[in-house]
Amino acid sequence: MNPYRNYAKTYRDELRTNVIPFWLKHAPDGEYGGFFTCLDRDGSVYDTEKHMWMQWRVVWMLSELHRKLEPDPVWLAQARQGFAFLTRYGKAADGSYYFSLGRDGTPFTAPYNIFSECFACMGSAAFFKASGDPQAAEEAQASYRRYIARGADPKGQWEKRLPGAPRWQPLSIPMIRINLSLVMAECLGDAGALEDAAEVAREVLARFRHPGSGLIFENIPAQGGFDLRSPTGRHLNPGHALESMWFVMLAARRSGQPDLISQAADVILATLESGWDQEHGGLYYFMDAEGRPHPELTWSMKLWWVHCEALIAALMAFQLSGRKEFWVWFEKLHHWTWQHYPDPAYGEWFGYLERNGRPASMLKGGKWKSFFHLPRMLLLCSEMLGELASGAEPQQNPIRPA
């Protein structure tokens, strides 16, 4: 019996039968366009506000599924109407994307958040690759430029902290840039973006990996180094660390830098070992590097996206490094995750669990959860497991002219 083949079927079937149908049934707004992402356990809509991150993530995911799972005209049509709604209503006068809209497209929240640009770029790039629409390529390139331009001062005029406050460099900005550049390289054939991804990947490992613990820190002083005198400087985010490391491994694989794969694998192992809850199982949401009280009271919760990123990271580290401890971790993560998150009654997965693994909320989508982390994980893991089952080399996704 081939365990890789069995796991691949499990992940692919979950995507096809429980996750995609849930979102296609409940998310599309047939009256105004875009998607409902604030969904209760049964898929009913509890809020019609349309948050830009979540909207663009749906466009990206539908486009990816159309390209990589099967060319389904329904998925492409939904991506198209989402793209049209967001490009029509989503932009402020300067071209940046609002944080949220009303159901009919009325701007609700100012474009204070740099990641609206990120997901606009991702969604547009993937939709271009799936559809060939030249407007989508233009939108992806414009959003990519805005994201990079805002990186040094991401909040701009909406920054609340005063000049005398400590200045921090968050991991989120460069880690997302790696992924964004990989998307631009794959979908638009941008070789310069691949070079950028590899360069930023090396920078993340050099600057954010703590030399003593081997862990990736969430915030470092703007001038570099580490500062453990405050909760901000001691803040660990296992989900971000794991997600960033599989981004690094992808960038390293596609640009031919095997030393980065080995370094990222070491970080993944250290993160899994330190972030695992020895009493209840699962990975903590947040941690303090010195074990001191964390200011976020949700620190001990178990979130769906953290475990999705952990599954991808462990499996990719196993596939690319061949180190058996990562397969052990993949199976450990698999069993805990699949025991606690799937909802057999209504489909999709719960997102927010208490430390002991019981659901803290029944929602299936909201301001921070949509059709993204879970289906991305199911798609990527099913692909990697299929490659392992067949003995094939990992797909390289070579850069071709768009």
- pLDDT tens digits, residue range 27-64? 999 999 999 999 999 999 999 999 999 999 999 999 99
Please, what sign has the CA dihedral across residues 230, 231, 236, 240?
A: negative
- pLDDT tens digits, residue range 210-252? 999 999 999 999 999 999 999 999 999 999 999 999 999 999 9
Residue 257: closest CA among 310, 315, 199, 312: 199
Phi, psi of 43 (to 5 degrees): 95, -5
What integer pLDDT is reported at residue 391 of this predicted model? 87
Residue 219: closest CA among 271, 279, 252, 171: 171
Letter for the amino acid at 338? W
The secondary element (H helix, E strand) that includes residue 179 is helix 172-188
Residue 248: closest CA among 229, 266, 224, 230: 266
Asked if residues 257 and 320 have their Cβ atoms less than 8 Å apart, the reply is no
Residue 18: closest CA among 54, 53, 43: 43
- pLDDT tens digits, residue range 84-110? 999 999 999 999 999 999 999 999 999
Q: How many CB atoms lie within 10 A of CB 292?
A: 11
- pLDDT tens digits, residue range 237-292? 999 999 999 999 999 999 999 999 999 999 999 999 999 999 999 999 999 999 99
CA distance 13 to 21: 11
The CATH number of domain 3-157+165-390 is 3.10.580.10: no
Residue 141: closest CA among 155, 156, 130, 125: 125
